[in-house]
Amino acid sequence: MPAPLEIATRNFVGHYQAIPYALGSPGTERPYFSTNQHTFDIPYPNGITYGVAEYAQTHMVQIQQLLAGQPSAAETGAVDSYSNLGMQDLGFGTKLDTPWSLREPALRRRVSGDRRRPIP
């Protein structure tokens, strides 16, 4: 079963691709990296990493490929889902720095014979 952070990241990728898609720029999925080559005049990322943090080198190669495919005058954004890439070396600055928060659901007991109604 995937870890909660992996699930959250994959869900975020779906949301991330929806906006450019709705504006006429469908994205692409690569292993552990989702991209969108849009050049809209909006502060919206062109790439987001996912998978496990151990793929940092793969993520960096994919971000370099993303940059190579963008027009030189286009602002390019990328989301480092694990905050471990050091993208400053590629000219990126931090625009948003926020933690991922997760709350596990509370355990619930069930009444004997009634599997529909949880008891707090």
Per the CB < 8 A criterion, the answer to whether 17 and 27 are in contact is yes
pTM above 0.75, yes or no: no
Kindly state the tokens that stand for 27. 């994205």
Half-sphere exposure of 26 (CA within 13 A, CB side): 2
How many structural domains are present in the chain?
1
Query: Domain range holding 39?
Result: 4-119
CA–CA dist 46, 116 (Å, integer): 44
b/e per residue 45-78 (b: at least 16 CB within 10 A): bbbbbbbeeebbeebbebbeebbeeeeeeeebbb
pLDDT means over runs of 10, the chain (120 residues): 75 86 88 87 86 85 91 86 87 81 71 58
Query: How far is it, in rounded angstroms, from Cα 67 to Cα 46?
Result: 9
